[in-house]
Structure 1
C-alpha cells in the first residue's frame, strides 16, 4: 500500500536526501519518493505504519502528516501495465546522461588506441576517464554528496568522513590510471572502494528501495537501477583482469 504525507521543514536537496534516508530505514518501508517542490513524500509499505512511528524516524526539524492513502492493489491490470510502461520510459530518460557519458568515455578510450589495438592501454584510459568524469560531477556538490552516498554505501554510512573524501579518492585514482602511476596500487584500491559500494548497491536493489544514485553526484537525479550495478561491475572486472594479466 501507498500513503502520501506532507513534509514540513525541507528546504534543499540535502533535506530531501535526509528524509529519504531516514524514512527508507523504517522497517516495513519498501519505497520512498520525496517531492521537494510539493513538500510531499509518497511511501510504499508492506503494511500500515503509524504516522507517529514515521515521524519518530525523522530529525526534529521535519514535521510529517498523512495526506492521503492509496491501495496499489485496487488498480486494474490495464492501468498497472500503462503505469509500468511509463515508469520504464521515465527511468530510461533519467539514465540517459549516464549512458551518454559512458559512451563518450568508451569512444575516447578506444579511439586513442585503436591503431595499436592495445587493450591494456584502452582499459587503463577507460578507468582513468571514468574516475575523472564521475568525480567531477561529485565535486559540484561536495556538501550534498556524502548524504546521498551514505544512503547505500556501507562504509559511508558508518564513517561519514569517507563520503566527504570519496570524490577526491576518485580523482586521485583517475590521475593514477591516466599517468600510469602505481597502477597495481590503483587497481587494488579500485577493488576495495567499488567492491564496498557494489555490496551496498546490490542490497538496495534486492530490497527494492527507490533512492537516488550518487554515482554522478547530486547534480543529475539518477535513480538507483541495475545500470549502477553494471557500471561498477565493469570497473571491477577490468581491475581483476589487469591484476591477473
Structure 2
C-alpha cells in the first residue's frame, strides 16, 4: 500500500459473496484499515476481518435502489486519507471489473493520492464455476467477453452496446458472453443477440453467485427472457451465453427453461 503524507488507500475486491473466496492479501488489507467504505453487495461476514474500532461506512450502490453518489464516495475517501486514515474501499467482485474502481483511482490520483488495488474473484467467473462448467473450453470457446447490460446514462452517456455486432463476433470467434447487470434489459438483449447467434445457444442465469441462496436457470437464448420472468430471476445476477454451457448436461443440469435448482 502506497503512502500518502497523512494516510493511505487500498481498493479491495471482496469477491462474489462467499467470504472464503477472499484472497489473503484482501484479508490483510481489511485488517489494517482504520476506515472501510463498503459497497452494498459485500457480504457482512467479510467485515468480521476488520480490526476492533475500525470505522465502517456503508456506501451502497445498486441498480434500481437509492445509491450514494459516486462523487460523494470519492470525496469521503480523499478526506479520510488526508486525515491520516488507513482507508479500504471494499467493493464486490473485482474493483476493476464493472466496479467503478478505475474512476476512483483516477480521482484519487488527481488529488495526489496513489492507491493500491487488490483483485477479487469476479461474479462472472464464480457463477459458472458454481455450476461446474468453465468459461472457456477448447472444444466450445476460444475466449470470453465480459460486458455490462447496463450502459452509462446521462449527458455523458456512451453509445449503447452493439449487441448484434457482439453476437456475430461471438458466433464467428467462438466466444462466451458474460453479461453483468442485464436482468432489467433481458428482453432487449435477447432480441439483439438472436440477430447473430442461434436461438438454441445455451444460456445460464445465476443469481447470488457463490452464496447459500444462489439459484439459477438453464435455458436457451430464444427462451431466455421468458424463462427469467417465469423463474423471477432478479439482480444481482449474471447471464452467461455460449456453447460452453453444453457441459451443464454432463453436470446433471438440463438445458430446460422450466427447471431451476439451487447450487453452491
TM-score if structure 1 supplies the norm length?
Answer: 0.26
More strand by share: 2
TM-score if structure 2 supplies the norm length?
Answer: 0.25
